[in-house]
Structure 1
Amino acid sequence: MKTGMSLATVEPGVLRRYASDQIVTLAKLVIENAFQPIVEAGTGTVFGYESLMRGQERIGFDTPMEILDEAHQASQLLQLEQMVASRALAKFATLSNFSTSTLFLNLDVRLIPHGERLVENLLQHLRTANIPPSSVCFEFSERFDNTSVPEFSALVSKLRKAGFKLAIDDFGVGHGEIKLLCDHPVDYLKIDRHFVADIDRSPRKRHLLKSIVNIAHVLGTRVIAEGIETEAEFIACREYGVDLVQGWFISRPTTHVSELAPCFPHLQELDKSKRNNQSLDEILIRKQIELLPAVYENDSIDSVFELFRRNPRQAFFPVLNANSEPRGIIHEHHLKEYIYQPFGRDLLKNKMYERSISHFVEMAPIVGLDSDAEQLMAIFANMEGSNCLILTDNMRYAGVVSAASLIKVINEKQLKTAQDQNPLTGLPGNRAIRDFMRQSGRDGDEVRHFCYCDFDNFKPFNDAYGFHLGDHAISLFAALMRRYFFAERHFLGHVGGDDFFIGVVGWTKEELTEILDRLISDFHDDVLDLYSDEHRAAGRILGHDRAGVEALFPLMRCSIGVIELPEGLVIDDINRVSAEIAVIKSAAKESEEGLVFHLLGEAN
């Protein structure tokens, strides 16, 4: 490059062709760090930021990968990555919330042999900026085979020992991701955009996501969904247990720190209904949480010994990082060999021996508080030898539960479900109905129908013939429901009085219409026998409406309003359904057949 020639006057292609030996120098002039927020799925609050490279096109490179490849060819990759990482850390340190956030940095697989130099350089920058290592997470991309590099295991060990967090990036599209997840303690698993795109319309993707989330949580790994671009994708990921989300629907990357918000109201609004509808499981689980004292990774070994000494009956304690995120547990049997050896404690304190708390951390399942009790018990069953489940609330340590505590939760849940049953019909009541609706709304693999059944002209009948025959009519309808809806996937509920609920999964509209028509017809025929000959002949009965006005009323029948949730639709706000119930029930009462279908969200 000629002396005095400005960067702006040089063609990008010329720079790329002739200045490869000065790639780092050029990069310093144009490369910027863009931050994209990574957000807690349950609250809409920022958890951290991924640092992304921007500006490479100004020196002739279409993508960040191209400039990294060029730097590698010129043997300048380490210097380039160190420069980019140091700038990212400097920018991160200017954020007001950096002390409680996590910075995600990509680690190029080609730098693994130079890992020690890279780590030492980063630790120096962290000390300068007063940032704890636990606030930095390295992402290993699965687009490259990390595990084939001989130095990989040693680097992972060094990063963990230094207090850094680790993530698998591009999970599902690369090399040996299951092997990496199995062989190394990983904090986060970032699911590739391929598995998130249009997940609300793909049953296969939803099944895969649920399986990945379950496996990760059993291993104590949190799940991040990348590339979320629509509200439907966000809701689906959140409802299938994803812990953190990232993508354009949340926020685009920006190079301007002033544009980074601490939370996102559009996500919080979507979460409002979920927080207002706390499940029975969560209520019961919160009652069983044991808030054990926690050990922090940077605590001294002496403090751990003291904690066990003060709590002689406790065999383990949860281990947290500086941000109060669980990393696992520390068990007393790991320390016993040092306690009972001569000079064992002194050996642990010896810096040359290098045995910090992180060396003794044992993997434990880590799950959010909003999981259901049966799911938690299944995780226990799949995690042989596990002492506890570590529970989190918004990604932070909330306490632990044991298997015995979960059994109590399930027993109490069954008891409350039994108490919720209607004494006349023996059908589940409103709490169970809402739980079914909530669970079905979150599972969009099949079409679902919510049927709201209501007797027309029940009050005049009940007034004329008394509560005994009124109860008989109610019991009669409950028996007919059981006759036609007996499969395991059918749900029958008694809202109260003459209001009933039928939940059906996997049936077509035509199949359901046939059965509901028969239910309405059979009930009408059977209930006629409860009237006197005079009333049957007249087809009417004199009575009073709810305002006390005397009038003639037709004989009783059942009308049914059906709300359909199509395949692929995932909702967690059952108030959306409730808002349309009154309209659809009214339409059913006014219809000649007594049966009306309505597609959720469709204009009435």
Structure 2
Amino acid sequence: MAVSLAADVGGVRRFASDQLLTLAKVVVENALQPIVEVQTGVVFGYESLMRGQERIGFDTPLDILDQAEAVGQLLPLEQMVASRALAKFATLPDHAAFTLFINLDVRLIPHGDAMVDSLLAHLKAARIAPSSVCFELSERFDNTNVPEFASLVNRLRRAGFKLAIDDFGVGHAEMKLLCDYPIDYLKIDRHFVAGVDGNPRKRHLVKNIVQIAHVLGVRVIAEGIETEGEFVACRELGVDLVQGWLIAKPTTHLAELLPAYPHLREVGQSRRSSQSLDEILIRKQIERLPTVYENDTIESVFDLFRRNPRQSFFPVLNANGEPRGIIHEIHLKEYIYQPFGRDLLKNKVYERTISHFVDRAPVVGLDADADRLMAIFANTEGSDCVLLTENMRYAGVISASSLIRIINEKQLKSAQEQNPLTGLPGNRAIRDFMQDAGRDSDGFRHFCYCDFDNFKPFNDHYGFHLGDHAISLFAALMRRYFFADGVFLGHVGGDDFFIGLSDWTSDELTEILDRLLSDFHGDVTELYSPEDRASGRIRGEDRHGITRDFALMRCSIGVLELPTGLVIDDVSRLSSEIAAIKKYAKESQSGLHISRFRELGQAEV
């Protein structure tokens, strides 16, 4: 039976090879898979994928494309698939707001002019701007070795199309493409996305790919997102856009497509009711310069510089409002001061458009923090600015001088929030540390909450002066024992402190905390009168106003351990876990209790 079935399939394929295009027109369909903005869940675009080829004996789209190439029908097959994708895309409500991603087979590059001519005709008929179409350059073969590749890329850019590198990391010449060609998007292959939340090596690679891409003005798409952990990890590593089964599977039925997937905003998010300090400061300094559209005339650019004589550059956008780079007056000076320079630019034979003068510039979202912006500036030689986007559209620019003001104001705010008694950072800084550490799963992380036992009766009995002395004493001991890199010390307020650590083992931490608790108890005991020390207790009122005996003061420390590979962005949940652990610490004989956080359920106690 199996032999018969195989023979049937083989027969269909042989028949299909003779009539491939005719049969493909009958069975092949276009499926669309949403590509969404990682911060909002709003759909940015759709990738067009081939479906239905199995009905004529081809297991995958690649199989039918290979066969089409073998029988000389690849170009008409791809033209048919692309035209149908555009027709389907054009029926979407508000399709002008989206981008259609179409795969470009390297074997079509020698036929690039015919392909582009056909596509432009379809776009014109459907009234779709070329900037609504992005060609994905497949890394199955080395595009850059095809002689016609450079000229095809230039034509695509002049026409207004966008370009993406597909399957980044597993193909040929991706870094050459990224370095030498004006790429808009980089699609990280599923290999690096799968299990990224639990794999430090993958996290490190993705983080650096994102950093490199943003410095070059390229936006990053993570392919194949299938779990919430992968989604959260990609979001926190700075990825701009995501696609995969977690969001939506490819579908041939347009009614199944949604304009947004708002549930993604809640996945792994901490419940913050306000903006971060960095975003507030960045929004204060953002400068919304006038913009140039890449399909504007050169004359309009001259006019813009004439009306803004103190501005040396302007952002360049595509028809969808996405940044393409900047246009700098220095590149136009030779034409401005040349006797017939402007006439030369207008000459159709000479053919110089705005796209010829665009310089790439770093592009990041408004949700980036100040340190990330500073890192991008540090890695971008001679950059005039960083282009900021909100929902992937141009939001303004940040110059180097503006960034310096942001950093200075952030440092001033941090200094103002330090506790005046101990000089340690306060609650905002503690929260920021916990959030950053929760997102960085490369090693063990420990959050230690320190709280004095029986501080109130001591403070009531001996006065605020000695109470402040005990607080200062503990802060000094913290600094003595925790001074290495990767250690954060904070003062929650009163007699509550916080210690945050990365890359410490539980044994190392237990040893140091035992010494800290022992030394503090010994030193603080000396603050009591000889009589109280001898009795080991004092009389005082508890928080309910009831008079009773209290033991001498000590400190209890509850420690929450986050294991390697765990990504969590919910600071409120972490805080509630720590509060529960603190109760166990106060009830313990040693005053120290360490629990490991589990991704599902409560901490292990």
Shorter-normalised TM range: over 0.9
Distance in 1 between the 2:134 and 2:514 partners?
59
1:313-370: CA deviation from partner (whole Å, max 9, x where unpaired): 1011000111111000011122222222233323323333322212211111111222
What CA RMSD, in Å, does the superposition of the two structures yield over aligned residues?
A: 1.5
Once the two structures are superposed, the pairs formed by residues 158-177 of structure 1 within 5 Å of their partners are 158-177=155-174
Query: Does 1:61 find its partner at 2:58?
Result: yes
The aligned counterpart of 2:602 is 603
* Aligned match for 2:455, one of 453, 458, 465: 458
Is contact 2:166-2:189 (8 Å) kept?
Answer: yes
Conserved in 2, the CA contact under 8 Å of 1:327 and 1:363? yes
Shift of 1:11: 4.6
Tell me, yes or no, if the aligned pair for 1:30 and 1:56 is still in contact at 8 Å.
yes
| CA drift at 1:189 | 0.5
State whether residues 421 and 429 of structure 1, in contact with CA within 8 Å, keep that contact through their aligned partners in structure 2.
yes
Amino acid at match of 1:492: L
Name the CA distance, whole Å, in 2 between partners of 1:243 and 1:481.
40
Among 218, 229, 246, which residue is 1:249 paired with?
Answer: 246
Following the alignment from structure 2 to structure 1, what is the Cα–Cα distance between the partners of residues 519 and 16?
86
Cα offsets for 1:480-515 (capped at 9, x unmatched) = 111111112111100110000000111111111111
Amino acid paired to 1:562: V
- Amino acid corresponding to residue 205 of structure 1 in structure 2: K
Structure 1 residue aligned with 2:438, among 431, 441, 450? Answer: 441
Structure 2 segments unaligned to the other structure (5+ residues)? 1-6
Alignment of 1:88-107 (within 5 A): 88-107=85-104
In structure 1, the residue matched to 2:43 is 46
Q: Deviations 1:434-490 (Å, cap 9, x if unpaired)?
A: 121121111110100000000111111100110000001101111111111111211
Shift of 1:34: 0.8
Contact 2:227 2:246 in 1 (8 A): yes
Deviations 1:53-81 (A, max 9, x none): 01110000000000001111111100000
Q: Counterparts of 1:58 and 1:418 in 2: how far apart (Å)?
A: 68
Q: 2: CA distance between counterparts of 1:111 and 1:277?
A: 50
**Aligned amino acid, residue 267 of structure 2:** L
Deviates more, 1:118-127 or 1:546-555: 546-555
Q: CA deviation at 1:280?
A: 2.1
Query: Of 568, 573, 590, which aligns to 1:576?
Result: 573
Structure 1 residue 385 corresponds to structure 2 residue 390:
no
Residue 468, structure 1, aligned to residue 459, structure 2: no
Deviation at 1:260, TM superposition (A): 0.7
Residues 277-292 of structure 1 aligned to structure 2 (within 5 Å) = 278-292=275-289
Which sections of structure 1, spanning at least 5 residues, go unmatched? 1-9
User: Do the aligned partners of 2:279 and 2:367 also contact (CA within 8 Å) in 1?
Assistant: yes
Match for residue 261 of structure 1? 258
Indicate conservation of the 8 Å contact 2:435/2:569, yes or no: yes
SS in 2 for 1:19: helix
Counterpart contact for 1:43–1:271, Cα < 8 Å? no
The alignment's TM-score, normalised by the length of structure 1, stands at: 0.96
Aligned to 1:6: none
Give the Cα–Cα distance (whole angstroms) in 2 for the partners of residues 95 and 276 of structure 1: 34
1:384-418 superposed Cα distances (whole Å, 9 cap, x missing partner): 22111111122111111111111111111111111
1:121 partnered with 2:108: no
Q: Give the aligned residue type for 1:366.
A: V
Residue identity in the other structure for 2:191: H
Matching of residues 472-511 of structure 1 within 5 Å: 472-511=469-508
Number of residue pairs matched?
Answer: 595
Partner of residue 412, structure 2: 415
- Between the aligned partners of 2:314 and 2:117, the Cα distance in structure 1 is 30
Which residue of 155, 158, 176 maps to 1:179? Answer: 176
Structure 1 residues 603 and 374, CA gap change in structure 2 (3 angstroms): closer
Is residue 126 of structure 2 the alignment partner of residue 135 of structure 1? no
Determine what percentage of the aligned residue pairs are the same residue. Answer: 74
Q: Is the 8 A contact 1:318 1:326 kept in 2?
A: yes
Report what 1:318 is aligned to: 315
Give yes or no for contact 2:232–2:268 (8 Å, CA) kept in 1. no
Residue of structure 1 in register with 2:226 after alignment: 229
Question: Given the two structures, how large is their TM-score scaled by the length of structure 2?
Answer: 0.96
The one of 153, 162, 173 equivalent to 2:150 is 153
1:19 matched to 2:16? The reply is yes
Q: Quote the residue 1:593 is aligned against.
A: 590
More displaced 10-residue stretch of structure 1: 182-191 or 295-304? 295-304
Distance of 1:32 and 1:571 partners within structure 2: 40
Aligned to 1:7: none
Question: How far apart, CA to CA, are the structure 1 residues paired with 2:65 and 2:502?
Answer: 51
Q: Could you tell me whether the CA contact under 8 Å between 2:269 and 2:569 is conserved in 1?
A: no
Please give the alpha-carbon distance, in whole angstroms, between the structure 1 residues aligned to 2:268 and 2:332.
43
Matching residue of 1:304: 301
In the alignment, is the contact (CA less than 8 A) between 2:16 and 2:56 conserved in 1? Answer: no
Structure 2 counterpart of 1:201: 198
Q: What SS does the corresponding residue of 1:253 show, helix, strand or coil?
A: coil
